[in-house]
Amino acid sequence: GAVVSQHPSWVICKSGTSVKIECRSLDFQATTMFWYRQFPKQSLMLMATSNEGSKATYEQGVEKDKFLINHASLTLSTLTVTSAHPEDSSFYICSASVDYYNEQFFGPGTRLTVL
Amino acid sequence: AQSVAQPEDQVNVAEGNPLTVKCTYSVSGNPYLFWYVQYPNRGLQFLLKYITGDNLVKGSYGFEAEFNKSQTSFHLKKPSALVSDSALYFCAVRDPDYKLSFGAGTTVTVRA
């Protein structure tokens, strides 16, 4: 149980375009989902926390207008990278939790490459 | 603020030998500590956690970790490493606001 999926697993896009990444909890309802960013050979950095039906909470230094997060249902959260630039190229990982206080289950990640 | 440190960037061991990945923590209050493993281009897989109770925590794939309050450590161990254990390992601590803070990661290479 506790499976989290992400789609797509990898995406290549041109600079200036927008890219949407989906995070789904497959066998449980996730009130809370987290979005992380990971650069090569580095640790995970929390970008934002989203709660179903409410606005996401962004970490300091993360541009909320650039990284749009929507958590419209208990099984789906989306991260949209708007007007992507090469410096946005990274590995994006989501996690989901039954609620804010419980264990996070991680998705397999999405590799974004912006040309 | 809560934090964890992984002092070793890399750990290399021969298959069949014991494996230890080190983690030290700095927290105010009771620590909630986790170990995760990441294979190339994959997300994180949960190995084990310490919330309270026994200092020796047993987890997935034969891994265990020892919580040591006096040394503020939470080292991950496996008695006999496998080549398939080669991966990136992260120690993490849960903040009072329930967010996870990760260590820098330790790359484990197990040679045949």
Q: Alpha carbon of B107 to those of B33, B50, B57, B74, B90: distances in Å?
A: 19, 22, 21, 17, 9
* pLDDT tens for chain B, residues 1 to 112: 789 999 999 999 999 999 999 999 998 888 899 999 998 878 889 999 998 888 999 999 999 999 999 999 999 999 999 999 999 999 999 988 788 999 999 999 999 9
Best of A34, A44, A105 to substitute, by most chain B Cβ atoms within 10 angstroms, is A44
Contacts of A41 in chain B (CB under 8 A): 105, 107
Candidate from A42, A103, A108 with C-beta closest to B43 = A108
Contacts of A105 in chain B (CB under 8 A): 46
Maximum CA extent, chain A: 38
Q: Alpha carbon of B27 to those of A6, B1, B24, B31: distances in Å?
A: 32, 7, 10, 6
Report yes or no: A66 and A22 within 8 Å, Cβ to Cβ: no
Q: What amino acid occupies position A30? A: A
